[in-house]
């Protein structure tokens, strides 16, 4: 019984491209009493692996929290795997506004103490005594009430690129931090104000609404299905969007556009921008906002120091980060003194620019050949190890990677095992001229006409 991934992310991406079928990105959650989370986890993995369902899922004694990518053809079969469990019969599946076949490239199901790290002792209050759920139309209506206080229960890097107009946006890095801050900030309004809360898909508000009712707030409301469901409903019902900007999502897309407004800036140059990136230095991985110009100039790095590190030999890079503690001390979320235009906490509702309409590129049909081994900077020559298929002079090739992007060229000449040749096969080492730098994370493909 297979209970783990056997393919790398790159191999999975290749299979998805070759299949050429649409995939749906979706999320769901359910609070329930699960006696044996480990057994529950294993059963889900077997069922979902058979359907080519991918994603990041947390299960615990208190329930399940899932963000996933499912082949459209298998959507109903996937739903049936949920209906097996009484607590997931008729469960709402939040389907993403924007789709990306590569939103998830592995199936990861982890057993946790909680499905959301909230820091609360659930034994001290009734977690089922939740706030009133509001659909998009009613949510818009209550926001217009001057007696309403609306709170964003997401983290600073989420709210910075998009939020509801007039919302309180706590300057926090974790959900658990926001609970005592909001409780203290609004302690004088427990009796007479509408406390209205929202998050990405609804799961954080599900627990927070019960917590704040326990803290004495009389009128507690939450956005049903979160921003994801709100965006769907305003589109279907032709409603005005009170949300402005982009909704941050926890998959490879890092965001889906709700309105054309850009409300944030590139953290490096200050240009209006709402595209997140992770620093290319594996010893940093800082999540920050970076425009296309800075991305090209800084090669996906957050600072000149990180840029210099990425140019070092791999062995030296590994040595530099050896012994570093992982977690938030390395994989930080937009908190760095090197970022000159970082904003968090109290945010403006002003639109800085309008996003350009993007035309999705035609999918490239390709087969993987091998991977990058080295790049000779002075000679501008790349070395690749052939692992699959056959490469010939005259082939149209693609070199792709997280920093390099997608670079296409025609192979005019190559050396195979240090000798000029016209054909290379698996096991061969191939070198040829490349007018751009390649990295060890880059893959070599042949484009099929």
Catalytic residue annotation: 199
Residue 200 pairs with which residues in a beta bridge?
none
How far apart CA 402 and CA 295 sit, in angstroms, is 11
How far apart CA 416 and CA 364 sit, in angstroms, is 26
Helices (H), 104-242: 136-143, 156-159, 175-185, 203-214, 226-237
At 328, is the secondary structure helix, strand, or coil? helix
- Name the residue among 383, 97, 107 with its Cα closest to residue 249: 97
How far apart CA 64 and CA 361 sit, in angstroms, is 35
How far apart CA 229 and CA 266 sit, in angstroms, is 28
- Name the residue among 416, 367, 369 with its Cα closest to residue 388: 369
As given in the structure block, the two tokens for residue 156 are 């600073």
Does residue 386 contact residue 430 with C-beta atoms inside 8 Å? yes
Alpha carbon 173 to its chain centroid, in Å, reads 16
As given in the structure block, the two tokens for residue 370 are 């091998």
DSSP assignment of 250-278: SSTT--EESSSEE--B-TTT--B---EEE
DSSP assignment of 29-82: EEE---S-HHHHHHHHHHHHHTTT-EEEEEEETTEEEEEEEEEGGGHHHHHHHH
Task: Quickly count: other Cβ atoms within 10 Å of residue 315's Cβ.
Answer: 8
As given in the structure block, the two tokens for residue 191 are 């009796």
Does residue 264 contact residue 353 with C-beta atoms inside 8 Å? no
As given in the structure block, the two tokens for residue 272 are 């209006």
As given in the structure block, the two tokens for residue 418 are 């240090």
Please list the helix, strand and coil fractions of the chain in percent, rounded to the nearest 5, in that order.
25, 25, 45
As given in the structure block, the two tokens for residue 283 are 């010893």
């Amino acid at each position: 019984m297979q209970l783990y991934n056997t393919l790398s992310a790159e191999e999975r991406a290749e299979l998805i491209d070759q299949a050429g079928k649409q995939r749906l990105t979706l999320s769901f959650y359910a609070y329930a009493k699960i006696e044996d989370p480990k057994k529950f986890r294993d059963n889900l993995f077997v069922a979902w692996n058979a359907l080519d369902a991918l994603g990041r899922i947390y299960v615990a004694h208190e329930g399940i929290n899932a963000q996933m990518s499912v082949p459209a053809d298998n959507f109903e079969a996937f739903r049936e795997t949920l209906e097996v469990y009484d607590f997931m019969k008729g469960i709402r599946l939040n389907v993403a506004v924007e789709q990306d076949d590569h939103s998830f490239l592995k199936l990861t199901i982890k057993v946790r103490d909680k499905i959301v790290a909230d820091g609360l002792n659930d034994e001290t209050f009734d977690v089922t005594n939740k706030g009133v759920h509001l659909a998009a139309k009613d949510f818009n209506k209550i926001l217009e009430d001057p007696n309403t206080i609306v709170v964003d229960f997401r983290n600073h890097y989420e709210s910075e690129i998009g939020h509801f107009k007039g919302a309180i946006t706590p300057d926090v890095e974790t959900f658990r931090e926001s609970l005592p801050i909001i409780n203290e900030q609004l302690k004088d309004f427990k009796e007479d104000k509408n406390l209205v809360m929202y998050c990405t898909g609804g799961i954080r508000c599900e627990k927070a609404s019960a917590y704040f009712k326990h803290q004495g707030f009389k009128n507690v409301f939450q956005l049903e299905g979160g921003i994801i469901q709100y965006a769907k409903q305003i589109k279907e019902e032709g409603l005005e969007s009170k949300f402005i900007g982009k909704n941050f999502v926890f998959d490879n897309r890092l965001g889906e556009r709700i309105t054309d407004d850009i409300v944030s800036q590139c953290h490096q140059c200050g240009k209006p921008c709402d595209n997140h990136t992770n620093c290319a230095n594996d010893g940093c991985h800082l999540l920050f906002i970076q425009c296309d110009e800075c991305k090209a100039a800084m090669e996906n790095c957050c600072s000149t120091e990180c840029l210099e590190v990425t140019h070092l030999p791999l062995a030296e890079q590994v040595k530099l980060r050896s012994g570093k503690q992982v977690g938030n001390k390395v994989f930080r979320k937009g908190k760095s003194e090197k970022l000159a235009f970082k904003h968090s906490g109290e945010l403006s509702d002003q639109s800085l620019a309008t996003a350009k309409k993007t035309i999705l590129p035609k999918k490239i049909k390709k087969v993987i050949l091998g991977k990058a081994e080295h790049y000779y900077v002075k000679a501008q020559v790349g070395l690749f190890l052939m692992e699959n298929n056959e490469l010939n002079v005259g082939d149209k090739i693609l070199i792709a990677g997280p920093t390099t992007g997608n670079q296409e060229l025609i192979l005019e000449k190559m050396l195979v095992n240090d000798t000029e040749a016209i054909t290379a096969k698996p096991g061969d080492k191939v070198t040829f001229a490349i007018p751009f730098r390649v990295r060890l994370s880059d893959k070599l493909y042949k484009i099929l006409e």
